Chains A and B, each alone.
Chain A
Amino acid sequence: MNNAVSHNEAINRLHKDTVLERLSGFITLLRDENFLCDTSSTLDAVRVCSAGYIEHRLHLRQGLRACLCHTRDEWRRFDALFDDFWRSVKTDDEYESATPNNANQQPPEDASRNRLIGFSASSDEQDLDQNITGAGDFKTLSLADFRFVFDKQQMQEIEQLVDTLAKRMRRQRRRRTTASKSAGRLDLRRSQHKALATNGTLRELAYRQPVKRLPAFVLLLDVSQSMEVYSKLFLRFTRQLMSEFDRSQAFAFNTQLFPLGQGNTRLTEKDFEGAMNEYGKGWLGGTRIAKSFKAFNNDLGRRCVNSHTTLVIFSDGYDTEKPSELIPEMETLQRRARRVIWVNPLLGRYAENEADPKMDPLKPYLDVYCSGHNLTALDELGKILIR
């Protein structure tokens, strides 16, 4: 009898050890897939198994998913990873109840329109002659598309005007309040504390006023070949913005994403050039926006972007990957950021309401879609940023 009991215990222990080992392997796999699994989640998973969920695969899947997933993206990917790891065949009924039906949320993939970046006739070009005459005059320069401004003197003046635009941006008021001695809304709690010393007589009042903080910007710059004529101006704009706003960060991308710097350091043009040279293997190569944004979302997004961050993307949208690959990344960015602004310098060349197959599927995920092809457009962008 005793032998039988000890034998069963040994089998149970062996079974338990095997399960724990497999579970540990599964959690390691999830961590490799960037799941937010910490020790607490692991302990929860063990408790789920101990609670009997291990005896039925569907229950195990549901139980582990509840405690090991923490985001919608993890929730979506979990089933495939679960099946892959536990080497089981999934059944339709399991998937029907488990997998979010997101098929209808993504716009249908559209055949990408091979629109070449040429200097095709546009309203801008028709007005070109009158636009670029008189270097140094804001009104004249402001309408000139940056791609036509090649004169060094003109470029410098434009850069100075960009500096001025960036400096116009001021602090944002927030709804959160902080203690103030002289102005704002009456703070009864602190006033009450002070009144204790004067036998309840409110002699000295305390106030609260809204927190004012500099806006935080995250800037993603497309520095691929197609953006060559605009990149320098946008880089200058970015550098000035970062020197004015401490909580700003900038990244550039072409075939990969790389950091340009943070706002709390005084960055010189040489710093930017250094960053570009260090990572600039794809400087004149193609553009992999979806891959770059995915890298940003997975590795940096959580740290860099929050509900107070304005995310500004400077890109013409030309991507060697399919638009459908970019959509989930844009969805993530929109969810995380306060606003997502896409600055497309090519927009100035298109007629109003002209269809753009590469950008149209992305528009639902953008708060602002604007052009930055000349100073007037950049001035508008400045107004949008300080709003």
Chain B
Amino acid sequence: MSPHADPQATLRQQLMSIGYVAEPALVSSLHLMDVLGKPLLIEGEAGVGKTEVAKSLAAIHQAPLIRLQCYEGLDAQHALYDWDYKRQLLAIQMAGNASETRDQDALKGAVYSDEFLLQRPLLAAIRSPQRAVLLIDEVDRADEEFEALLLEVLSDFQVSVPELGTYTAIHKPWVVLTSNAVRDLSDALRRRCLYHYVDYPGAAAELTIVKARLPDISAQLAHQVVNYVQRLRQSQLRKTPGIAETLDWSAALMGLSVKDLSETPEAIESTLACLLKTREDREFVTRKQSEPATENLEQ
């Protein structure tokens, strides 16, 4: 047995125990995060379970999950740290009333202290007393300037606060970055990360996921749901349903007490909202519905 096989198998089992079915390549990447101490950049279509990787990692390590949701215009004040201005103003005015002498340096030292520092997700992860999982979600939505900001955090696991100094991570967090590849990320950021691409799962893998996440689902229904979704993915839809949609749809069908889709084809129509997220896709599938949908469910 190779030296790494055991930790990988353990990791896979741990992920499975909390309902996350990970492909072997992903397990390797997660294992290498520990071996190399590097962040993991996960790319893939929306709904394939990228964010779930970080959540699952936090669950198996029983570590706090610190999440930074990225968006255009995200800056240091929302990602790293900020100062509590209102309290700072109050403190300055109180200090001014109490003392006649205005020692600006002392005042500045008092005001720009840890007491008035508001930690944002990146700094919170660096300063976390316990090793945390830092999820930087949809990093492609942020702009290039923010990527530059991330470089120091991801390569050295430290954050510089000009007024206070540099904070270095007590425990290096597990960092997971996710991207829908809406925008290309910079080479500098990519080079600092391990990389993993998550694709839509095959039918067998998706069936395992559905059964792991919804243990009460009947084998017949799970099989039909997965077959239907797999066939939908072959169509030219505007928004291809991901695993999240499969699980939502399965849960919806279970909520309607559907056991067998071939017996209640109308259930497909009434629950399509869980799968299809655009009007065009809905119309396309509804048009096709009458032909192959139910008759092919058994395939």
A residues apposed to B, CB below 8 Å: 36, 38, 40-41, 44, 47-48, 51-53, 55-56, 58-59, 62-63, 65-67, 69-72, 74-76, 96-98, 100-102, 104, 107, 174-177, 188-189, 191-192, 195-197, 199-202, 302, 305-308, 332, 335-336
Contact = CB atoms under 8 A, between A and B. Distances in A.
20 contacts: A36-B191, A38-B191, A41-B191, A59-B4, A62-B29, A66-B25, A66-B40, A67-B36, A67-B194, A70-B41, A72-B43, A72-B181, A100-B199, A101-B199, A176-B73, A192-B83, A200-B92, A200-B95, A201-B93, A306-B144
Given A75-B197, A101-B199, A196 B191 contact: no
A48 B35 contact: yes
Interface stretch (B104-112, B250-258, B269-277): B104-112
Nearest to B33: A66
A63 B24 contact: no
B36 A101 contact: no
Contacts of A308: 143
The 5 closest A-B pairs by CB, nearest first: A200-B92, A175-B73, A52-B3, A70-B190, A62-B28
A195 B89 contact: yes
Contacts of B234: 104
B190 A97 contact: no
Contacts of B200: 101
Contacts of A102: 199
A118 B75 CA distance: 54
Contact of B25 (A98, A177, A191, A332): A98
Interface in B246-266: none
B144 A196 contact: no
B85 interface: yes
Contacts of B190: 36, 70-71
Nearest to A338: B183
B5 A56 contact: yes
A44 to B, nearest CB: 5
Contacts of A196: 92, 104, 107-108, 111
Interface string B168-185: 000000000000011110
Contact of B183 (A76, A192, A202, A307): A307
B61 interface: no
Contact of A51 (B35, B184, B196, B236): B35
Main secondary structure of the interface of A (DSSP, over half): helix
B96 A200 contact: yes
Contacts of A307: 143-144, 183-184
A300 B5 CA distance: 41
Contacts of A70: 41, 187, 190-191, 193, 195
Nearest to A302: B187
A205 to B, nearest CB: 12
Interface of B: 2-5, 8, 23-25, 28-29, 32, 35-36, 38, 40-41, 43, 72-73, 75, 77, 82-83, 85, 88-89, 91-93, 95-96, 102, 104, 107-108, 111, 143-145, 181-184, 187, 190-197, 199-200, 202, 233-234, 236
A188 B5 contact: no
Nearest to A100: B199
Contacts, number: 146
Contact of B2 (A55, A71, A98): A55
A107 B184 contact: no
A36 B75 CA distance: 27
A66 B43 contact: no
A302 B197 contact: no
A177 B145 CA distance: 12
A107 B236 contact: yes
A97 B28 CA distance: 12
Contacts of B181: 72, 335
A188 B85 contact: yes
A47 B200 CA distance: 30
A75 B195 contact: yes
Kindly name the residue among B93, B190, B197, B233 whose own CB sees the greatest number of chain A CB atoms within 10 A. B197
A98 B145 CA distance: 33
Given A58-B24, A59-B4, A195-B89, A189 B29 contact: no
A202 to B, nearest CB: 7
B85 A192 contact: yes
A189 B187 CA distance: 32
**Which residue, A70, A72, A191, A336, has most C-beta atoms of chain B within 10 A?**
A70
B25 A65 contact: yes
Nearest to B193: A70
B195 A69 contact: yes
Nearest to B86: A188
Nearest to B155: A40
Contacts of B187: 36, 70, 302
Given A53-B4, A71-B195, A97 B75 contact: no
Contacts of B183: 306-307, 335-336
A1 to B, nearest CB: 25
Nearest to A58: B24
A57 to B, nearest CB: 11
B77 A189 contact: yes
Contacts of A176: 73, 75, 143, 145
A122 to B, nearest CB: 29
B111 A47 contact: no
Nearest to B97: A199
Contacts of A96: 202
A182 B23 CA distance: 56
A52 B4 contact: yes
A118 to B, nearest CB: 32
A335 B32 contact: no
